[in-house]
Amino acid sequence: MNKIKITSKNKYKEAIILAIDTSCDDTSVAVLKGRRVLSSVISSQVELHKKWGGVVPTIAKRAHQDNIEKVYQEALKRARIKEEEIEFVAVTHGPGLAIALEVGIEFAKNLAYTKKKKLVPINHMEGHMLASFILNSKGNGAIALNKEGTVFPALALLISGNHSEIVYAEDINKYKILGETLDDAAGEAFDKVARMMNLGYPGGEIITLLAGRASSTWSNVASGLEERNERKPLAEVAGRLGLPVPMMRSKDLNFSFSGLKTACLYKIKNLREKYSEDTKWSYDFSREFINAVSRSLLTKLSKAIKLHPEIKSIIIGGGVSNNKYIIREVGALTRKTQKNYLIPESKFRSDNAGMIGIAAYYNINNLENWLEGKKILELDRKPMLRL
């Protein structure tokens, strides 16, 4: 029953799906043929005409209708697909910034209604949830199943700039949030702590780079992924003097990263005062920070696994799972459980329209979820949509 239809015999298994996501900072459009992503274009990769002249604010640009048309044309071009070949138009209808969502939805509705295509509204988070099922244009995917080959029920850890959630997935479209962040998301904590360290924006990646220069204590944990550094570990962030692991003692499956943020602020202030010009403290500190985030995620994930021993798979999604330290530990935990480990290819972990397309694929094939005719015009944005 719960077997996911990977070799679906349904009539839409080779359907051309156009997928649109405008929930985040970028406008993304992808073209899929069945589960295969033929093209996936993000607005920042496309050259836009200098139509506005002078300074164009980032968000204004994102909200601009012209932008999506260009990204759409580029996605079709790269996929070598013509507009008339599109059968389904999938679009994120939430969660996200209202005005940004509207841009994608209006475009999708217009295209679907005037060109008589089927419209598939998708929850952005379901996209992250199912991104592991994407196949590349050659038909290869990242998913590795055990002999049983059954994916559901599954637990998903979805971690991004805007979300940190543990979700129980009984089947496609049957989801329940078991735990989520009460304040800041994991990715947001990275950017904010980077800001406190004076590392610019977005700083999440820089913290990870700095962590690569941490002293041997952390390098040992890292087992050869980064350059070895035999410096003595910084006493202020090592062992018991380290940062608190958020929500360690809370009984539920929720996350909270605002307390860690505050602890970081103090630690950074002290380290700055002590070392003034010498910024080498930032290496060990960064590693310890990642460690605190990682342990918080791991603690809650293992708790969730213990509570739900029946699950067949552990699914990972969201841009934070591109952090090599975090994903290595999540991977190690998952392998110990002998469950299926589903993790998207790197480029499909952060926000992209390919994942909206794959979620649409399963909504179409497994549930026949779509809108046609006048119904299309009723679709509205849902900025606070939940799984």
Partner 1 sequence: MELIKYNKNNSKIIIKKALAVLKNGGIFVFPTETCYGIGTDATKKSAINKLYSYKTRREGKPLSVVVADIKMAQKYVEINEMAENLYKSYLPGPITVVSKGKGKVAKGVESEYGTLGIRIPEHELILDIVKNFGKPFTATSANMSYLPKPYSIKALLKNMPAKNLELIDLIIDAGKLPHRETSTVVDTTMNSLNIVREGQLNIYKKSDKKSILSAQTESAEETINFGSMNMLKYIDEPLSKPLVFFLVGELGGGKTQFAKGIARCLNIKDLVKSPTFTILNEYNYKFGERRGKFIHVDTWRIEDINDLETIGLDNYFSVNNIIAIEWANKFSNDLKKKIKKTGGKIINVIFNYLDDDRRAIETYE
Contacting residues toward partner 1, per CB under 8 A: 24, 45, 47-50, 54-61, 63, 95-100, 161-162, 180-185, 187-188, 191-192, 195-203, 205-206, 209-210, 258-259, 261-266, 277, 279-280, 282-283, 383-384
What's at 193, amino acid-wise?
A: V
Neighbours of 177 (CB within 10 A): 17
Name the strand (E) or helix (H) holding 18.
strand 16-21
Question: 3-state DSSP call for residue 53?
Answer: coil
- By C-beta, is 196 or 298 nearer to partner 1? 196
The distance of closest approach from Cβ of residue 309 to partner 1 in the complex, given in angstroms and rounded to an integer, is: 28
The distance of closest approach from Cβ of residue 208 to partner 1 in the complex, given in angstroms and rounded to an integer, is: 9
- By C-beta, is 60 or 377 nearer to partner 1? 60
The distance of closest approach from Cβ of residue 6 to partner 1 in the complex, given in angstroms and rounded to an integer, is: 29
- By C-beta, is 34 or 203 nearer to partner 1? 203
Q: Is the C-alpha dihedral spanning 50, 55, 57, 63 positive or negative?
A: negative
The distance of closest approach from Cβ of residue 33 to partner 1 in the complex, given in angstroms and rounded to an integer, is: 21
The distance of closest approach from Cβ of residue 189 to partner 1 in the complex, given in angstroms and rounded to an integer, is: 10
- By C-beta, is 146 or 262 nearer to partner 1? 262
The distance of closest approach from Cβ of residue 167 to partner 1 in the complex, given in angstroms and rounded to an integer, is: 15
- By C-beta, is 48 or 221 nearer to partner 1? 48
- By C-beta, is 39 or 363 nearer to partner 1? 39
Q: Look up residue 355 and give its two tokens.
A: 């994942």
Beta strand pairing status for 88-94 and 118-123? parallel
The contacts found for 373-379 with CB under 8 angstroms, 24 or more apart, are 376/109, 376/112, 376/113, 376/119, 377/109, 377/113, 379/91, 379/93, 379/105, 379/108, 379/109, 379/119, 379/121
Give the CA-trace dihedral at 325, 356, 182, 322, to 10 degrees: 10
